[in-house]
Amino acid sequence: DIQMTQSPSSLSASVGDRVIITCRASQSINSYLNWYQQKPGKAPKLLIYAASSLQSGVPSRFSGSGSGTDFSLTISSLQPDDFATYYCQQSYNIGTFGQGTKVEI
């Protein structure tokens, strides 16, 4: 099975900060990497698919990059609505998730 490892597990940031979350796959997954945002008590929301494609309706401050085994999600200027937990997910083979990164104030 492909293992997905996110870092950090949590981070503290302020409004306006640039935030970068990384995700590493245990083997090459080309660009088969998605990012989701989840707020407490809510369903996850798709942000980025195919490593760098922005889902319709998602603000442009979110961006994704990477290929092979190393990927990142960048929030260019953190907004109050962005405090949430973020998950990467590989879609190369079935659909393993990373363990999540909680972005706190």
Partner 1 sequence: EVQLVESGGGLVQPGRSLRLSCTASGFTFGDYAMSWVRQAPGKGLEWVGFIRSKAYGGTTDYAASVRGRFSISRDDSKSIAHLQMNSLKTADTAVYFCTRRRWEIIRGYYYYYMDVWGTGTTVTVSS
CA dihedral 75, 83, 29, 31 (to 10 degrees): -40
5 forms part of the interface with partner 1 (CB under 8 A): no
> In the bound complex, what is the minimum distance in angstroms from residue 42's beta carbon to partner 1?
8
DSSP lists the bridge partners of residue 36 as 46, 87
65 forms part of the interface with partner 1 (CB under 8 A): no
> In the bound complex, what is the minimum distance in angstroms from residue 61's beta carbon to partner 1?
20
> In the bound complex, what is the minimum distance in angstroms from residue 5's beta carbon to partner 1?
12
44 forms part of the interface with partner 1 (CB under 8 A): yes
In contact, 20 and 72? CB cutoff 8 Å: yes
How far, in Å, are 1, 29, 57, 101 from residue 11 at the CA level? 28, 26, 25, 7
Residues near partner 1 (CB under 8 A) are: 1, 30-32, 34, 36, 38, 42-46, 49-50, 53, 55, 87, 89, 91, 94-100
